A = this chain, B = another copy of it.
Amino acid sequence: MINEPIDPRDAERHRAKMAKRKAVQDAEVASKNIEKGLLIVHSGPGKGKSTAAFGLALRMLGYGRTVGIVQFIKGAWHTGEKDAFAAFGNRVKWHTMGEGFTWETQDLARDKAAAERAFDKARELMDDPAVSLVILDELNIALRYEYLDLNDVIDVLTSRRPDLHVVITGRNAKPALIEAADLVTEMQLVKHHFAAGVKAQVGIEF
């Protein structure tokens, strides 16, 4: 791939535009000075909600920090991320507390009891001063099916210690949770390979 030589006028236009952009960018950065633990929500129908949460965990691990992960719905099946996190020893506190998708258990009382146990574990991790980031994976699903009381959950989240980051994943985040959050991203599905008959594959879906 050979680029054409650049016209000096194009180069200068580019330089001027980027110099202006930099001034805006620098002013933006300078205007932000608050540091705080964030309540982060990854929702929406697209792929990447849990995956981005695990990416954040990885970033945190790079600074020698400790992360806690509670899986509210997913059951005991094997995933690559869990094996990979083993490289960080006890700096990843991983707890799979679900019993599989709600359409697998087909048992409301059992699903509620599992969600309660998962949230107790979440509270324990949030109370641990060694933990910098807690991921509550698929908590939105437990809230959507009313396995847990939304107000109780939000009370616990908003009364956590001020420097603790929490990431909550799952479709259909409740409006009250979005209201309480600092950072909310919706993963939108533009195009999905499942629609083209491609199956779930190692390293991609699990």
Contacts and interface: CB of A to CB of B under 8 A. Distances in A.
Nearest to A151: B1
Contacts of A182: 191, 193, 196, 198
Interface in A165-201: 165, 178, 181-194, 196-201
Contacts of A58: 54-55, 58, 80-81, 84-85
A10 interface: yes
A102 to B, nearest CB: 6
A47 interface: yes
Interface of A: 1, 3, 6, 10-11, 14-15, 18-19, 21-22, 25, 28-29, 31-36, 38, 41-44, 46-48, 50-56, 58-63, 65, 79-85, 87-88, 101-109, 112, 116, 119, 132-133, 148-149, 152, 165, 178, 181-194, 196-204, 206
Contact of A6 (B22, B35, B108, B183): B108
Given A19-B106, A54-B58, A34 B197 contact: yes
A25 B53 CA distance: 25
